[in-house]
Amino acid sequence: MVEYNPFTVAQAEVDRAADLLELEPAMRELLRWPLRELQVRLPVHMDDGSVQVFEGFRIQHNDARGPTKGGIRYHPAETIDTVRALAMWMTWKCAVVDIPLGGAKGGVICNPKEMSEAELERLSRAYIGQVGRIIGPDRDIAAPDVYTTPQIMAWMMDEYCRLSGNSDFGAITGKPLGIGGSLGRNDATARGGWYTVREAAQELDIDLGGATIAVQGYGNAGSYTAILGQQLFGCRIIAVSDSSGGIINEAGLNAEAVLQHKARTGSVAGFPAADSIDNGELLALDVDVLWPAALENVITADNAAQIKAKIVAEAANGPTTPEADPILYENDIHVIPDFLCNAGGVTVSYFEMVQNASRDQWSEEYVHQRLDKKMTEAYHTVGDVANHHGVDMRTAAYLVAVQRVAEAVALRGWV
């Protein structure tokens, strides 16, 4: 099986958009690489009295349109190239939904499942102690991502405020409500994705009431995707999976009950009244909407021809490789690309920043209304470009996003 470097994939996607936009060489080179990278070593006192040194990163891809913004991952398989790719994708994500931010990403190589709460707090504070010099509400705003939580964001925000001497709550988003978090943030990624799926289903004449859904990855985004699919549209969730296994029931799964089972056991596997299924089988199910909601590179040239879903809604970052895209397009599978589909999270994080800056608190209904407007407008902007140029939705999304960033770079006189 081919091993894909996510940063090489991200650069190839930019190259294609640059070719279509006929960008000059200097502009192309600037957009292919992060503007700034920081690698750090984090000594952390563990509960057993030992000291463990962790490796971390903070990468700022482009801030031509505004301060950079991006999550922080805690993952044992984290790499600098993964963080580079995610930072770049965040730039395009902010641009495609037209919010005044650039892209960044952070990560620490660790296994949070094997760490105590006290160890996670010490690691989180150590990370801010190192990267705090390059972040801030007007520089680079951090947020949660894989295996980081609102509580971890609270520790990071507190450490940043301690170091700055100010109540800079807006330096970190995804915080608990009691310290400046936003209503509607927990399910924002999934909810924003569903707004785009709703628009796509109308175009394709798919009735979401009773539509069949498969979700690969049952973490935050994936579980909320399943739950909201049932609550908002009455969809039938027939299969879900996580890193430990998958389950299927053609009659439908109770998404909330599956989440409770995972909370008790650590996995969706073994859920009563369901059969087991592996991730490869789940991806190939004949469903109305397939949600890849785990990690990168799960739909490749090797399995793209097996995809039967009418809509592939990419809740994860980079789940489809460049070689797989033309296969899906030729097979009339409507792909809603990652940095459009999952932009609801960063959009509500932006709303959180706005609320922190104005010392305001919006109602959940107002957050949902504004998110719906942003996601719907972005979906149709990309769709119009796809129809005009006769290209797939991912290419169209890149054309929209890269053009907006390139315009900002030019207007600022960088190139």
- Structure tokens, 216: 């690969």
Q: Name which of 94, 54, 41 is nearest 70 in CA terms.
A: 94
Calpha distance 202→177 (Å, rounded): 35
Closest CA to 374 of 100, 91, 76, 116: 100
Tens digits of pLDDT across the chain (415 residues): 556 788 998 898 899 999 999 999 999 999 999 999 999 999 999 999 999 999 999 999 999 999 999 999 999 999 999 999 999 999 999 999 999 999 999 999 999 999 999 999 999 999 999 999 999 999 999 999 889 999 999 999 999 999 999 999 999 999 999 999 999 999 999 999 999 999 999 999 999 999 999 999 998 899 999 999 999 999 999 999 998 899 999 999 999 999 999 999 999 999 998 999 998 999 999 999 999 998 778 899 999 999 999 999 999 988 998 889 999 999 999 999 999 999 999 999 999 999 999 999 999 999 999 999 999 999 999 999 999 999 999 999 999 999 999 999 999 999 9
Contact 125, 159 (CB under 8 A): yes
Residues forming a β-bridge with 40? 56
Please report which helix (H) or strand (E) contains residue 371, including its range.
helix 364-389
Whole-number Å distance between alpha carbons of 314 and 217: 11
Which residues are paired to 59 by β-bridges? Answer: 37, 105
**Taking a C-beta distance cutoff of 8 angstroms, is the pair 264, 288 a contact?**
no
Q: Which two tokens stand for residue 1?
A: 């099986």
Q: Indicate which residue of 69, 93, 105, 262 is catalytic.
A: 105
Q: Residues 6 or more apart from 96 whose CB is under 8 A from it?
A: 339, 340, 343, 378, 381, 382, 397, 400, 401, 404
CB-count exposure of residue 89 (10 Å: 0-12, 13-18, 19+): buried
Query: Can 308 be counted among the known catalytic residues?
Result: no
* Per-residue pLDDT, 317: 84
What domains, with CATH codes, occur in the chain?
Answer: 36-167 (3.40.50.10860), 188-336 (3.40.50.720)
Q: Letter for the amino acid at 344? A: G
Cross-strand partners of 45 = 51
Q: Could you tell me the pTM of the whole model?
A: 0.92
